[in-house]
């Protein structure tokens, strides 16, 4: 049986990781991908094969056996994945992890593997940290203290209360990151991100790891409010009423899942079980973490 590669969720640390906060990234096994040679001419396979061919023809990656990959491609190779593209769940990271394991030589050293994976994922994103494919490659949660200081956690923390809200709208990460970087040129915005948002993110991560549910909700509320006040471009118009309702009632809070702008939004409910939240938020699909 060929290996499977999970989706990734950046639970906490979106944007602030670019400026020194911690981050918490987790494999998300309900969504995954694996190599396949079956039905290479079917609808789902065509997009994958097009991307793989572009990778083979354009990649200058060292340490990857592109000749073997090309032979497999000619035999019908494609990446069969349930991870939606443009939804912030690491669809390209899973592909890169699969390429690395099948056609590369994983070093087994965290820093080196991350560097190699980042170089491979540059093909899709222009510039990659390597964190998305690292989660899919290791299949374990990562506590990121900094881009060059990554800790593999022995087990996934308790995620009860967390859910994904499906906006049904894909987005591109690059333009949204550019908006954030432009905002960071404003000294006041940069200061508030450091003094308020980054600290709340770090506190929330600590609360998740300690399973401190009451303080977790408190910190997530402040993250949600900060994003509402300072990141309006990243919150889709259709979901804004739901966002403010959560802040006002305390039934749940919403926050960005990755870059925002569409895809999935991350939610956390403290008062209601997911069944109750589905009645409150009956306009969207909710998925339990």
CATH of residue 213: 3.30.70.890
Confidence of residue 2 (pLDDT cuts 50, 70, 90): low
What average pLDDT does the segment 161-171 reach? Answer: 95
Contacting residues for 206 by C-beta, under 8 A, at least 6 apart: 212
Same domain, 19 and 144: yes
Same domain, 139 and 186: no
The Cα–Cα gap between 226 and 12 comes to 14
Q: Is residue 220 part of a domain?
A: yes
The Cα–Cα gap between 227 and 249 comes to 17
pLDDT in tens, 257-267: 989 999 999 99
The Cα–Cα gap between 216 and 183 comes to 27
Q: Show the CA angle centred on residue 165, arms to residues 13 and 138, nearest 5°.
A: 50
Q: Is residue 85 part of a domain?
A: yes
Same domain, 273 and 205: yes
> Residue 223 above 70 pLDDT?
yes
Same domain, 145 and 189: no
Residue after which a domain boundary falls, among 123, 152, 181: 152
110: containing domain: 4-152
Same domain, 71 and 209: no
Residue after which a domain boundary falls, among 101, 133, 152: 152
Q: Which residue has tokens 């991307």?
A: 51
Same domain, 182 and 282: yes
Q: Is residue 105 part of a domain?
A: yes
Same domain, 147 and 8: yes
Q: Is residue 157 part of a domain?
A: no
Burial of 262 (0-12, 13-18, 19+ CB in 10 A): buried
Question: What's the whole-model pTM score?
Answer: 0.93
Q: Is residue 268 part of a domain?
A: yes
Name the domain count of the chain.
2
Residue after which a domain boundary falls, among 152, 170, 187: 152
Same domain, 24 and 57: yes
Q: Give which of 113, 98, 91 is closest to 2, Cα–Cα.
A: 98
The Cα–Cα gap between 53 and 50 comes to 5
Confidence of residue 1 (pLDDT cuts 50, 70, 90): very low
> Residue 189 above 90 pLDDT?
yes
pLDDT in tens, 48-107: 999 999 999 987 777 899 999 999 999 999 999 999 998 999 999 999 999 999 999 999
Q: Give which of 156, 140, 200, 178 is closest to 16, Cα–Cα.
A: 200
Give the percent of the chain with pLDDT over 70. Answer: 98
CATH code for position 81: 3.30.230.10
Q: Give which of 14, 284, 9, 8 is closest to 166, Cα–Cα.
A: 284
Burial code (b: 16+ CB inside 10 Å, e: under 16) for 140-160 equals: bbbbbeeeeebeeeeeebebe
Same domain, 24 and 69: yes
- Helix residue spans in 184-273 (DSSP H): 187-192, 198-210, 213-230, 240-249
Same domain, 140 and 178: no
Q: Establish how many alpha carbons lie within 13 A of residue 16's alpha carbon, considering only the half-sphere containing its beta carbon.
A: 31
Burial of 215 (0-12, 13-18, 19+ CB in 10 A): middle
The Cα–Cα gap between 153 and 201 comes to 18
pLDDT in tens, 9-55: 999 999 999 888 999 999 999 999 999 999 998 888 999 999 999 99
Q: Is residue 43 part of a domain?
A: yes
The Cα–Cα gap between 172 and 146 comes to 24
Q: Is residue 277 part of a domain?
A: yes
Same domain, 12 and 71: yes
The Cα–Cα gap between 193 and 211 comes to 25
Same domain, 53 and 118: yes
Q: Give which of 154, 155, 150 is closest to 134, Cα–Cα.
A: 150
């Amino acid at each position: 049986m060929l290996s499977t590669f999970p989706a990734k969720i950046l639970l906490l640390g979106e944007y602030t990781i670019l400026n020194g906060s911690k981050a918490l990234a987790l494999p998300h096994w309900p969504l995954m991908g694996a190599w396949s040679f079956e039905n290479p001419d079917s609808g789902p396979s065509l997009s994958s094969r097009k991307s793989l061919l572009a990778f083979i023809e354009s990649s200058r990656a060292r340490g990857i056996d592109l000749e073997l990959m090309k032979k497999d491609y000619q035999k019908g190779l494609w990446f069969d994945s349930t991870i939606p593209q443009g939804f912030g769940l690491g669809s390209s990271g899973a592909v890169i992890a699969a390429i690395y394991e099948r056609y590369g030589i994983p070093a087994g050293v965290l820093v080196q593997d991350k560097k190699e994976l980042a170089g491979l994922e540059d093909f899709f994103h222009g510039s990659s940290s390597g964190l998305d494919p690292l989660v899919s490659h290791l299949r374990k949660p990562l506590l990121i203290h900094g881009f060059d200081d990554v800790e593999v956690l022995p087990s996934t923390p308790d995620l009860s209360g967390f859910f994904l809200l499906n906006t049904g709208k894909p987005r591109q990460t690059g333009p949204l990151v550019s908006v954030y970087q432009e905002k960071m040129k404003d000294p006041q915005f940069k200061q508030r991100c450091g003094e308020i948002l980054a600290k709340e993110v770090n506190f929330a991560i600590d609360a998740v790891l300690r399973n401190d549910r009451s303080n977790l909700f408190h910190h997530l509320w402040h993250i949600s409010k900060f994003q509402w006040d300072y990141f309006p471009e990243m919150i889709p118009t259709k979901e804004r009423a739901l966002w403010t309702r959560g802040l006002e009632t305390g039934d749940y809070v919403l926050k960005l899942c990755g870059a925002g702008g569409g895809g999935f939004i991350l939610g956390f409910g403290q008062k209601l079980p997911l069944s109750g939240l589905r009645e409150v938020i009956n306009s969207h699909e909710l998925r339990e973490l």
